[in-house]
């Protein structure tokens, strides 16, 4: 019977995501990833090369999933911020993975840089057309939108702190989400001068 390599790869990526989110790159162990994925450790090296390349594959997959789940809309940055917040509520370990990446591998990949540049240009165009206030540079606007979307996940007691979810009630989640959306709306709403 032939092995299903795509199923094995998916299990490895899922297990590696959990491992990297919990321990970072330096603390992650390929033995634990292989055990959690119920796969031979050698397959990690066959499919991904080494632990760092496995991390890259996990991060790339997470970014692609995020882009598919939360499409960027420069014309509705408040809605985008709310959707990012929702995406992170559903995946609290994602913020931990991103924080580990920033700590252990500062800088951006070519794909991250290209995605960011495209979003900055979309914000700039929305400013030029009057849909977003042009009082701040597009880079600053985008950075603030992303930062506000993620703010609660780095807060003391936030979901990224524990990695296993939150104790937040639906009411508290709704309040935090509303604060994010309203803050972004206020920053980006066109002002009459």
From CA 57, how far away is CA 45, in angstroms rounded? 12
Residue-level pLDDT at 64 = 87
Lowest-confidence pick of 3-7, 28-32, 67-71, 155-159: 155-159
Average pLDDT rounded to a whole number, residues 91-113: 89
Residue-level pLDDT at 66 = 85
Q: Where does the pLDDT of residue 186 fall: very low under 50, low under 70, confident under 90, or very high at 90 and above?
A: very high
55 in Cβ contact with 103 (< 8 Å): no
From CA 127, how far away is CA 125, in angstroms rounded? 5
- In terms of pTM, does the model score above 0.75? yes
Task: Share the mean pLDDT of the chain.
Answer: 90
């Amino acid at each position: 019977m032939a092995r299903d390599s795509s199923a094995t790869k998916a299990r490895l990526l899922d297990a590696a995501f959990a491992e990297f989110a919990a321990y970072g790159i330096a603390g992650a162990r390929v033995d634990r990833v292989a055990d959690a994925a119920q796969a031979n450790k050698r397959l990690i090296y066959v499919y991904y090369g080494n632990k760092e390349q496995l991390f890259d594959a996990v991060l790339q997959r997470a970014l692609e999933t995020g882009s598919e789940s939360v499409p960027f809309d420069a014309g509705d940055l408040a809605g985008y911020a709310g959707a990012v917040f929702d995406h992170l509520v559903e995946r609290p370990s994602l913020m931990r993975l991103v924080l580990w990446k920033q700590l252990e591998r500062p800088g951006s990949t070519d794909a991250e840089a290209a995605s960011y540049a495209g979003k900055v240009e979309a914000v700039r165009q929305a400013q030029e057309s009057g849909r977003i206030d042009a009082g701040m540079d597009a880079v600053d606007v985008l950075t603030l939108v992303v930062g506000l979307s993620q703010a609660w996940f780095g807060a003391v007691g936030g979901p990224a702190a524990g990695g296993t979810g939150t104790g937040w009630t639906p009411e508290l989640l709704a309040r935090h989400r509303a604060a994010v959306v309203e803050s972004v709306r206020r920053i980006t709403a066109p002002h009459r001068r």
